[in-house]
Structure 1
Amino acid sequence: MDSVTQFVLGASISGALLGPRIGAKSLLIGGLVATLPDLDSFIPLGNAIDDMTHHRGFSHSILVQTAFTPVIAFIIGKIAPSTWIHKKMLFFTVWLTLITHSLLDSLTTYGTQILWPLNAGPPIAHPSIFIIDPVYTLLLLAGVLTMFFARKTSGGGFRVNQILLAASSAYLAIGFAGNAVVASRAAADPVFQNMRIHVQPTPFNILLWQVSGISDDRFSTGLVSLIGNCGVENVISTSRQKSATRMLNVPASVKRLEWFTDGFYTYAEQDGKLSITDLRIGLYPSFPFSFEFAQEKNGLMVAKPPEKIALSYQDRASDIFGLMGDKLTGCSTVIEKDTADGN
């Protein structure tokens, strides 16, 4: 999730647990602790792919977070002695604030390596919320602001913050259930038969969902609304290139991206250059995480430092909000499209 959401989630949790004991300062403590896992994004790892695939790694592991909880709590206790009086609650608050950061990230498309360093497969993900969702964020923010501005009143805004924290959790539960509903509809759709399926909310909401399916040589994607009984619509199917062509040794960072995407990737060769694209985020033909990593030389593809390809928004991607409007008001009449072009 975005940093603002993670901050207000941490602040809300800390406000609910520590707030009645130490007051509004708990909001700042929780918010700052909740941002700690994302500091890994400032660690340069040598190339664009590694910078992407190692994010949400060690700092997002609940095993690492549990180990570091006493250290972080001790530091907080030294800086803010009033918290050390409630040391058991402080420890629990720090731990819960850290792991909820990672658990929330695991409800987005790219998931989280929550069991690092254990070899537990690709990042764990059950997409239930988009990386930015104003409804979820505003519920948390409203509770945090209420508690801050009511800090000198008898109630202190604690109850309102707790209620809105619960409401935000219920919102996540709806998204979690929505994933299951959409996955069921997609599995019954003939277009996605014999394909691995990935479903996720479209930007900023949990009402309209994107379905993506892959086989060894095909990629299909479409939209499903939770409102009504429409199936998968606005479907596009295209070819998919599973392996890197004319390349003797695929760089380790590129193989890691295959792993990171849980198989939802495609290679493409164009103008003597080879690229790999993560197919989970974006609408065909525009995907924001595409990397050029090899160039033709003497008939073979030779590796070069990966570079992120600048996204060129084309009609299909720029129509997302129009499609959202259509889908949220009824079943679409757009027929299925098919293209022989690769990504």
Structure 2
Amino acid sequence: MDPLTHALLGATAAQAALGPRLGRQAWLVGGLGGVLPDLDILIRSSADPLLAIEYHRHFTHALAFIPVGGIIAASPWLLRQRHRPDWRALLVAGTLGYASHGVLDACTNYGTHLLWPFSPLRVAWHWITTIGPLLTLILLFGLVFAVRRRSRSPALLALLLGLGYVSLAAWQRERALDMQAQIAAARGHPVTRAEMFPTVGNPVLWRSVYQSGETLYTDRLRLLGAEMTLWKEGSHVDLLLEKDLSPQARADQRVRRDFARFSYFSAGWTAHAASDPTVIGDARYSLRTDAFEPIWGVRFHPGTAVPTEWVDFTTRNRVPISELWREISGTASGYRSMPSPGNSR
């Protein structure tokens, strides 16, 4: 999630729990705790371009690291003599803020090492995107009113509304997965695996990705009432596995290692970019809806000193608000009713 929402969630949680005890200090400690886990972005190396993605949302986001993070978050206050009588409350505020971070990130589709060091699983519930304006505004208003009125109630209400929003998104995702299965069945596709990804800032529009054989199929799904549930056919692309790399790439041990690392980061959703086959992209995300254009990926240069190049197109990732609204409102072209079994047309 974006840093602002993390800070607001941590601050709101701390204010709701400890506002009466710590006053205006509670939200400050919680807010700091809410952003601290993302200091892992400082872990990077020019000699290893994949180090940054390997350790982002890693141990600093783990449940096991929360006690350490809580102490770090509270430290600026604990170092001051006048705050030490409240050391228990400060630790709780910092811990609540820190704990909120990894759990919120797990609600997105990026993947978070919540269970480190006990499991290598990247937990991703795919309910919300990393930018959620509605959730951010709910937390902002709740926190502002709670601090100004020196009351817990607005903060508690904001947390409940935020939980309701995320719960709605989780329910919508399950509905979208049912739609996806219906579309695949209408096409006659046996599904090897499937996933559903939310679009920016709403629980209505979803990006469907499933694998059938060694092909990845993507579609757009719009979920409102039963009569307003629509879908738009997307594109398909070949899944890329290690065996599909060039002979030169497979001969380079470092390339094979880095392909495995990138594939793990991408949860196995890897494919060549449509416009540049030298780029192997993360197929969970695309700059376009009609073809696969990755937001990020890798390019390999076997036999060189640094054989892996990180390719980042995030600066091109502009959300077309008007088009997104047309899709959400049901006025965008190309959307149609759900297919009957055996007929995706």
* TM norm. shorter chain > 0.5: yes
AA in 1 matched with 2:298 = F
Distance 2:307 2:217 in 1: 30
1:256 shift after superposition = 0.9
1:222 shift after superposition = 1.0
* Correspondence 1:264 to 2:265: no
Instruction: Give the equivalent residue in structure 1 for 2:28.
Output: 28
1:43 shift after superposition = 1.9
1:96 shift after superposition = 2.4
Distance 2:74 2:6 in 1: 19
Alignment of 1:286-301 (within 5 A): 286-294=293-301
Greater alpha carbon shift after TM alignment, 327-336 vs 156-165: 327-336
Structure 2 residues without counterparts, runs of 5 or longer: 338-345
1:312 shift after superposition = 9.1
Instruction: Give the equivalent residue in structure 2 for 1:129.
Output: 128
Alignment of 1:191-230 (within 5 A): 191=187, 193-229=190-226, 230=229
1:267 shift after superposition = 4.2
Greater alpha carbon shift after TM alignment, 176-185 vs 188-197: 188-197
Deviation readout 1:43-88 (Å, 9 max, x if unpaired): 2234332212320001111112234534654653333744x44444
Give the TM-score, by structure 1 length: 0.82
Greater alpha carbon shift after TM alignment, 165-174 vs 213-222: 213-222
* DSSP-derived class of the 2:268 partner: coil
Q: Quick check: 2:26–2:90 contact (8 Å CA) kept in 1?
A: no
Greater alpha carbon shift after TM alignment, 28-37 vs 60-69: 60-69
AA in 2 matched with 1:18 = L
1:131 shift after superposition = 0.4
AA in 1 matched with 2:260 = K
Aligned length: 322
Instruction: Give the equivalent residue in structure 2 for 1:339.
Output: none
Q: Quick check: 2:36–2:73 contact (8 Å CA) kept in 1?
A: no
* Correspondence 1:253 to 2:258: yes
Instruction: Give the equivalent residue in structure 1 for 2:63.
Output: 62
Higher share in helix: 2
Distance 1:311 1:105 in 2: 19
* Correspondence 1:44 to 2:44: yes
1:335 shift after superposition = 7.7
Q: Quick check: 1:186–1:211 contact (8 Å CA) kept in 2?
A: yes
* Correspondence 1:169 to 2:163: yes
Q: Quick check: 2:142–2:154 contact (8 Å CA) kept in 1?
A: yes
Instruction: Give the equivalent residue in structure 1 for 2:106.
Output: 106
1:113 shift after superposition = 0.6
Closer, same or farther: CA 251–16 of 1 in aligned 2, 3 Å:
same
The percentage of counterpart residues that share the same residue type is 23
Give the TM-score, by structure 2 length: 0.82
Distance 1:259 1:238 in 2: 19
Instruction: Give the equivalent residue in structure 2 for 1:148.
Output: 147
Structure 1 counterpart of 2:309, from 306, 314, 321: 306
* DSSP-derived class of the 1:189 partner: helix
Closer, same or farther: CA 216–312 of 1 in aligned 2, 3 Å:
farther
Q: Quick check: 2:219–2:231 contact (8 Å CA) kept in 1?
A: yes
